[in-house]
Structure 1
Amino acid sequence: MKTWLLASAATLALTMASSAQTQDIPDNMEKLQGMQSTGTSMDFQTIEQSGEYADQLKRNLEQVELPNGFKIELYAVVPDARHIANGPQGVATFVGTRKQNVWVVTDRDKNRVADEVKEFAPSINFTIPNGVCFSDDGFLYIAEQNRVLVLPAAEFFYESPDVAVGVVTPQGELVPESEESFNHTARVCRIGPDDRLYISLGQPYNVPPKEKEDLYAEVGIGGIISMNRDGSGREVYATGVRNSVGIDFDPNSGNLWFTDNQVDGMGDDIPPGEINMASQKGQNFGFPWYGGGSVRTEEYKGEEIPADVVIPQAEMTAHAADLGLDFYNGTSFPQKYRGGIFSAQHGSWNRTDPVGARIMFTPLNEDGTAGEPEPFAEGWLTDSGEYIGRPVDVAVMKDGSLLVSDDLAGALYRISYEN
């Protein structure tokens, strides 16, 4: 294991960023990396977990349909809840947003309902801290719009507004500043079986102009990149990905699986969403030549398709907006679900009749390929076409239950199974 991973939190915070990297970052970041107090108030934001709002969310869940034996309950009220990272020790859950907050959720009495939701690390100014992920040894990574941070032992040191922090990728270096966009910049991250950090980099266009092709291929925009956990050794792992907002590794094969949101404006029923599998570095998944599945884009229909394009493992309903996914590695769900993929469909905006707003399950075949996806939890989209919730991410808890985030309602739900 690398020496820096064995270092104390204090040593890590002092050494993660060079003096050149810290010259242009905010004063608080410099202080935190020097293990200095920032003077941030201890009276930071907490979220009420009871009352009329929570009661209404519980009533809304009565409309969610699940297979026999399963139930869904409100776990926590979490504003703008997006991607989820469960601490490896089961102490706390961290939730990213597309705004400026990361939330930490704690179930102190272990009654499977959160007791406390509060702002995490308010001394740090985050920008779209959507991507949160843990290493097995307890380091929390936060992939922002254009920066990556690491917070050692975050699961045990979240009570203070000041935290030990290291800069993995400095501000403005995840993508070129010229490519910073308001669109498709909600990053997601995972630590791979090779102990490297993987981050998806959505490209900002519906279909990018041809003049961006070389730059995007070089940087990994419209793809997935990997790097050592200290930010060194950056590589482009996969290309031809329009905007993946969900990645995870199969614990059995080690292959990287990911969702991909496909091209808008081509019609209600095309192109399909995708679940893909990357089995090795350097694979191309077909965008922008394909808008999704085998559907060609108008912009690139006259272009020659790369010979090595990898087809999707599974095609999903067009414009359902497939986002976060997680392999089910628990044991409390029936055998059917073990080793398969749960994924969240956020729901469509670019469709005459909206679809999605549900949790899907995709089994894996004996050879490790995807079986047929099927709805698992649905009802956040009413018969009248009204959204009462929009699922974003899923995460398996240590007890085998499944957390679901919802950025419309601002909540985490817990799905459990009872014989």
Structure 2
Amino acid sequence: MRGSALAIGMLMASTACAFAQDNLQKLQNFQSTGTKLEIPTVPQDAKKVANLQKVAARIKVPAGLKVELFAIVPDARHMAIGRNVGTVFVGTRKSKAYAVTDRDKDGVADEVKEFAPSVAMKVPNGMCYSPDGFLFVVEHNRVLVFPAAEFFYESPDVAIGIVADKLIPESEESFNHGARVCTIGPDNKLYISLGQPHNVPPKDKLALYKEHGIGGIIRMDRDGKNREVYATGIRNSVGIAFSPQGQLWFTDNQVDGMGDDIPPGEINRITKPNQNFGFPWYGGGKVRTVEYKSDEIPADVTPPEQEMPAHAADLGLSFYTGTALPEKYRGGLFSAQHGSWNRTKPVGARIMFTPVKADGTSGKPEVFADGWLDEKTGQYLGRPVDVQTYLDGSLLVSDDLSGAIWRISSAD
């Protein structure tokens, strides 16, 4: 009976895989997959909304601003904002992606539904949107593109393309550090961060990782051609964005298990291709890793643009492109701290602001929105993941603990 059950399970898995592949082929040919037209939606349950509104009331922001619940979105991770309708495409670390729409433009979403439910996805964490309306979704080991995403998202079947069907060798796939992020550069290329799966990688992996850009950032043409490694020496970046000056900035999560206060987290700035940011010789900042403390440090290591509190888990970041917030924030960098998991006294669960000067360098980071961490109990009320400018100039903050998107806007 055990053998029969195993055989049935294997057959079902094989059949599901075949259906998923068949769906992709049909969608690429603009054919219907037969998926039910009624797309699953996420109820905006009144009781849960009321509870989350209580959390919003505890978030501290600068005078003249307010925090409200925008939408209930399960497991909400990185976001991409549509250019026309203003649909918010939301990734997760699971198997679903979501499309969030504020149809009456009152600052609260009217509808949250699954995006492209006829496509089987695996960790569709990374979302980025091109100026000409293409949505890129970076999974754990694949990149999909959805042309005219805002046009097709009302249907379960969507126009789709496969940009890359293998980002890393299958032997290096891991449940750890497998959430990818992406952005489109001013050169119209697709940039993707590839976290490496270890706390500190073994030395016999370094050559392989450098070749594939694991523990780095890669770039490629939007159709997947001309892939190259753009930056190395990165442990696990879960936030990348181009500045108004055209430079790529990224957060980096640093080595665990070295103590409460070391090593620092990092915000980094890339000023030219092929820069090395020091990992694994450094665990963060100038703190040497135990595993590589006797090894010679490469001569070309670039130090962090800014050091952040240890273990605050800096994730998504973006440059403010709106005008609705006070002038001091325009062109500056907002970044989300997910919050520590391995610190005696928790830290993080907040939004940081880093001013950017005209020459492209940065000023001192400061806390912008705080209160998702209950200081008395150490309990998280929410864990921010990403922060993006909405079309009206407000800020949207995703939160995978609460399963919510928060909106920060003018109180006027």
TM bucket, shorter chain: over 0.9
The Cα of 1:329 is off from its aligned counterpart by: 1.1
Determine if contact 2:324/2:393 at 8 Å carries over to the other structure.
yes
Q: Name which of 44, 61, 73 aligns with 1:78.
A: 73
In structure 2, relative to structure 1, the CA distance for the partners of 1:285 and 1:24 (3 Å cut) is farther
Shift of 1:90: 3.8
Aligned residue for 1:87?
82
Calculate the TM-score normalised by the size of structure 2. 0.94
1:246-261 aligned at under 5 Å gives the runs 246-251=239-244, 253-261=245-253
- d(CA) in 2 for partners of 1:43, 1:24: 19
- Measure the CA separation in 1 of the matches of 2:283 and 2:339: 18
Question: Whole-Å Cα distance in 2 between the matches of residues 401 and 133 of structure 1?
Answer: 18
Q: TM-score, normalised by structure 1?
A: 0.93
Distance in 1 separating the partners of 2:85 and 2:153: 14
Q: Distance in 1 between matches of 2:402 and 2:370?
A: 15
Q: How many percent identity over aligned positions?
A: 66
- Corresponding residue pairs, total: 395
2:351 partner SS:
strand
Alpha-carbon distance between aligned partners in 1 of 2:177 and 2:197, rounded to the nearest angstrom:
5
Give SS of 1:377's match: strand
Cα distance 1:138–1:320, how it changes in 2: closer, same or farther (>3 A)? Answer: same
Find the residue that maps to 1:31 and give its secondary structure: helix
Asked if 1:300 is matched to 2:292, the reply is: yes
Correspondence for 1:106: 101
The Cα shift of 1:287 comes to 0.3
- Select 1:361's aligned residue among 353, 358, 379: 353
Q: CA deviation at 1:399?
A: 1.1
Alignment partner of 1:306: what SS? coil
Task: Tell me which of 333, 345, 352 is aligned to 1:341.
Answer: 333
Query: Could you report, residue by residue, the CA deviation over 1:207-240 in whole angstroms, capped at 9, with x for unpaired residues?
Result: 0000000000000000000000000000000000
Partner of 1:312: 304
2:324 to 309, 332, 343: 332
Tell me which residue corresponds to 1:9: none
**Equivalent residue of 2:149, what SS?**
coil
Amino acid at match of 2:342: N
Q: Which amino acid aligns with 1:256?
A: L
1:43-58 correspondence runs (5 A): 43-58=38-53
Cα deviation for residue 25 of structure 1 reads 6.9
Question: Counterpart of 1:110 in structure 2: which amino acid?
Answer: K
CA deviation map 1:5-25 (0-9, x unaligned): xxxxxxxxxxxxxxxxxx997
Deviations 1:40-97 (A, max 9, x none): 1122310112410111000111111111001000000000000010002243110000
After superposition, the C-alpha distances for 1:372-403 in whole angstroms (9 at most, x for unaligned) are: 11100000000210001000000001111000
CA contact (8 A) 1:145 1:185 kept: yes
Aligned to 2:237: 244
Per-residue CA deviation, residues 173-214 of structure 1 (Å, 9 max, x unaligned), is: 110000010010100000000000000000000000000000
- Show the 5 A alignment for 1:197-276: 197-251=190-244, 253-276=245-268
Q: What residue ranges of structure 1 are gaps of 5+ in the alignment?
A: 1-22
Whole-Å Cα distance in 2 between the matches of residues 33 and 80 of structure 1?
Answer: 28
Which whole-Å CA distance do the structure 2 matches of 1:208 and 1:24 have between them?
37
How far apart are the structure 1 equivalents of 2:28 and 2:211?
Answer: 31
The one-letter amino acid paired with 1:263 is V
Q: Write the letter of the residue equivalent to 1:94.
A: F
1:249-268 alpha-carbon deviations (Å, 9 max, x no partner): 012x1000000000000000
Q: In angstroms, what is the RMSD of aligned CA positions?
A: 1.3
Q: Secondary structure at the match of 2:258?
A: coil
Is the CA contact 1:362–1:374 (under 8 Å) kept in the aligned structure 2?
yes
In 1, the alpha carbon distance for the partners of 2:358 and 2:35 equals 53
Q: What is the alpha-carbon distance in structure 2 between the residues aligned to residue 83 and residue 220 of structure 1?
A: 21
Counterpart Cα distance in 1 of 2:317 and 2:41: 28
- Distance in 2 between the 1:90 and 1:34 partners? 26
Work out the CA distance in 1 between the residues paired with 2:310 and 2:174: 25
What SS does structure 2 have at the residue aligned with 1:409?
Answer: coil
Per-residue deviation, 1:367:
2.3
Structure 1 residue 148 corresponds to structure 2 residue 140: no
Partners of 1:255 and 1:89 lie apart in 2 by 26
Q: Equivalent residues in 2 for 1:153-172 (5 A)?
A: 153-170=148-165
**CA-CA distance at 1:334 after TM superposition:** 1.1
- Structure 2 stretches lacking a partner, 5+ long: 1-17
* 2:277 is the alignment partner of 1:285: yes
Flag as ranges the 4+ runs of structure 1 deviating above 2 A.
none
Match for residue 14 of structure 1?
Answer: none
Contact 1:341 1:362 in 2 (8 A): yes
CA contact (8 A) 2:239 2:316 kept: yes
Is contact 1:275-1:314 (8 Å) kept?
yes
- Separation (CA, whole Å) in 2 of partners of 1:357 and 1:67: 17
Give 1:276 shift.
0.2
Q: Determine if contact 1:90/1:398 at 8 Å carries over to the other structure.
A: no
What secondary structure, in the 3-state scheme, does the structure 1 residue paired with 2:175 have?
A: coil
- 1:381 is matched with 373
Distance (Å, rounded) in 1 between the aligned partners of 2:85 and 2:252: 30
Specify which of 78, 95, 115 is matched with residue 120 of structure 1.
115
One-letter amino acid of the structure 1 residue matched with residue 60 of structure 2:
E
Distance of aligned partners of 1:406 and 1:372 in 2 relative to their CA distance in 1, 3 Å threshold: same
Deviation by residue 1:82-122 (Cα, 9 ceiling, x = unmatched): 00100022431100000001000000001110000000001
Please name the residue that 1:397 is paired with.
Answer: 390
